[in-house]
């Protein structure tokens, strides 16, 4: 199961952590598809924040985890991350056996 935790401060979302991605050699085909959707959305959000908006961020990835945190998030960066949360919450509602948005406050839609 893929777990997503959003980093939230008093002004909103400033980052996220994703863990538990399905491996390429796993047997769960639906899990692989959901993981691909989550990864694609997360990389698009991170690249938009850093390369298009221009905010500075810390990003770390490995096969099973992705961490992304914006240092001084602009309103535009927070909007992108809020959109990511909405997108992943919708995936979680549809594919709850494959993705979980961790933490009670994070389940609230944007």
What would the pLDDT profile of 43-65 be if each residue is shown by its tens digit?
999 999 999 999 999 999 987 89
User: How much of the chain, in percent, has pLDDT values that exceed 90?
Assistant: 67
CATH number at residue 28: 3.30.70.1490
- β-partners of residue 57 are 70
In the chain, the number of structural domains is: 1
pLDDT of residue 14: 97
Tokens of 90: 């919708």
Domain coverage including residue 42: 2-107
In the predicted model, what is the mean pLDDT of the chain? 88
pLDDT of residue 109: 38
Q: Per-residue pLDDT for 20 more than 90?
A: no
Query: Rounded distance, CA 7 to CA 106, Å?
Result: 9
Tokens of 33: 């598809």
pTM reported for the whole predicted model: 0.86
């Amino acid at each position: 199961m893929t777990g997503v935790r959003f980093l939230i401060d008093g002004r909103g979302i400033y980052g996220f952590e994703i863990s538990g991605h399905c491996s390429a050699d796993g047997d769960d085909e639906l899990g692989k598809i959901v993981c691909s959707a989550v990864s694609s959305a997360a990389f698009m959000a991170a690249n938009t924040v850093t390369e298009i908006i221009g905010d500075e961020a810390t990003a770390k990835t490995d096969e099973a985890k992705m961490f992304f945190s914006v240092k001084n998030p602009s309103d535009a960066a927070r909007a992108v991350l809020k959109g990511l949360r909405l997108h992943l919450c919708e995936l979680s509602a549809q594919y709850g056996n494959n993705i979980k948005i961790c933490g009670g406050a994070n389940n609230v839609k944007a």
